Amino acid sequence: MAESRKCQVLVIGAGPGGYVAGIRSAQLGLDTIVVEGDKAGGTCLIRGCIPSKAIIHAAERFESLRQHSAEGGHMGLFVKGDAEVDMGGLVSWKDSIVDRLNKGVEGLLKAAGADLIKGWASFDGPKSCTVDTGGDSVKIEAENVIIATGSSHIDLPFMPCDEEFVLSSTGALDLESLPKSVAIVGGGYIGLELGCALAKLGSEITVVEGMSSILAIMDKEIRRPLELWLKKHKVSVHTDSLARGVEIKGKGASKKVELTFEKDGTEHKVKVDKVLVTVGRKPNTKGWGLENTGVRMDGSGRFIRIDRKCRTSVPGVFAIGDVAGEPMLAHKASAEGEMVAEIIAGHKREFDKVAIPAIVFTEPEIVSVGLTPDEAKERGEEIIVGKFPLAANGRALSLEAEKTGGFIRVTARESDHVILGVQAVGSHVAELHAEFVLALEMGALLEDVAGTVHAHPTMSEAFHESVLKTLGHAIHIN
C-alpha cells in the first residue's frame, strides 16, 4: 500500500528552478515536498552548465600549458616536456565538483525544512500524483503545485545519440579519452562552447550548422571575434548545411563515424571519431501525466502557458523554467522559483524583468544584456551607440583578454540617455555582466555610469569607457 502525504507546496523537479522554489517555500514556513527523478541540481548542475564550465576551464589551463611548453615558451615562462591530457582524470575532477554541488543542494533543502523525495512523479489530477521511488510508492496531495520539469536535448530521428559514436552534450561531458576529431551538428552556444574546449584540448573540430551563421542568436558584430578565433584554431565551419545521417566505418579500435551533410545542393562527408549533436533543447512535458493536470499549452504547443506570475490555467498550479518558455536559462528559472514561492506565501510579486542576461562561454566569451542596436531600432528607438575595445584596457592586456579583438558596446536612447542594452565579447567578460544587468534594472542613464568611479586596473573600466564613448568623450581611445 502506497504511503500518503499531504503538503502545502509540491515541487516537481529539483533543477535550478525547482530547488530554489523548494528552499524559498520552506524558508517561508510552507510545508514543502520536492520530487526529483535524478539528482538534485537538475540538468544545469549535473550534466550542463557546471560540468561544461569545469571542462572549459580545464581546457584553458591546458592550452596555457601548451603555450609554455612550446619552443620559446610564453610570457618568458617555460615548461619542459609536452603537456598531456588525461581525459579520465579531467572527467573525474569535473565529477567531484558536480557531486559536491549536488550534496550542497540536498543539504540546503534539508536545512530549509523541505522534504526531498527521489523518484518519478505521475499526476492523476492537477494537484495529486504518485511517486515511484524504485520500490515503494508515495501518494502526494498538495494545495499548490510548482512544475519545474526542465528540458532535455533534442535527438535527430535519423541519427539518435548512442553516446558511443553519436554523442549528446551529456555524453561529451563524460568522454573516457580525448577524440582526435569531432564533428558538431549545430552551431549554437552548446555546440560551440564544447567545440572551443575540445579544440583547446587538441581535437580537430568540424561544425555543421543549418543556418547562414553560427550563433545566430547574437548579432554579426558581436560574434565576429569568435569566428576569427575558430578560423585561427583551424575549426572547420560549414553554414547553410544540413546533416543527413551517419554511418559507422571500420572495425574494432579503428572504427570511425562518417557524417553526411548537404551544402549548396551537394552531398559532403566527413569521417571523425565522434559526432556531437547539439541542435537545441525541448521542454520535458511527456511521461509524468501533464495531460491529467488540465493545464493549457501556449500557442506554440511546446511550453506550458503561464502569466507574469507563472500561474497556469489551473488555479494553484504554477510552471517555471524551461518547461514554461524561453529563454531556457537556469538563472531565469531560479528567479521564477523564488518569486512563485513568495506568491504562494501571500507576497505581491510578478516577473517583470527589464533584462535577463545571456552568456556564451566560448573563446572569447560573449555577453548580451537588453537590446542590441538593431533590436532597439526595430522598436522605433532613436539611439546612440558607443564601443570600447578591450585592447585599450590595461587589465585586459595583462590578462590577454584583448587577444581576440574583444570590446564592450553600449546602446542608449538618444533623447534621455537611458541605457537600453550592453553587449560584450572577449576573454573573461562573463563576470562583467552583473553591472550591465544592474544598470538596466535600475533604469540607469549613461551619466550614472559615467559618474561612477571604477577601480583601476580592472576590466570593469572598459564598461565605464564604453559609456563615455557613447557620450562622445572617451578618455583612452580617440
Buried-exposed string 364-379: b where 16+ CB fall within 10 A, e elsewhere: bbbbbbbbbbeebeee
Which DSSP state fits 179?
-
Q: C-alpha distances in angstroms, 435 versus 315, 331, 383, 397, 462?
A: 37, 16, 21, 21, 12
CA–CA gap between residue 188 and residue 447 (Å, rounded): 36
Residue type at 355? A
Chain position carrying cell 569521417:
271
Q: Which of 215, 195, 197 is nearest to 205 (CA)?
A: 195
Q: Which of 331, 285, 94 is nearest to 197 (CA)?
A: 94
User: Active-site positions?
Assistant: 456
CA–CA gap between residue 281 and residue 463 (Å, rounded): 33
Residue pair 202/344 in contact (Cβ under 8 Å)? The answer is: no
Residue pair 410/467 in contact (Cβ under 8 Å)? The answer is: yes
Residue type at 266? T
Residue 181 has φ and ψ, to the nearest 5°, of -145, 140
Q: Which of 418, 410, 407 is nearest to 373 (CA)?
A: 410
Q: Which of 35, 7, 32, 38 is nearest to 130 (CA)?
A: 35
Please report, in angstroms and rounded to a whole number, the separation of the first and last CA atoms in the chain. 77
CA–CA gap between residue 349 and residue 332 (Å, rounded): 15
Q: Which of 15, 2, 1, 29 is nearest to 116 (CA)?
A: 15
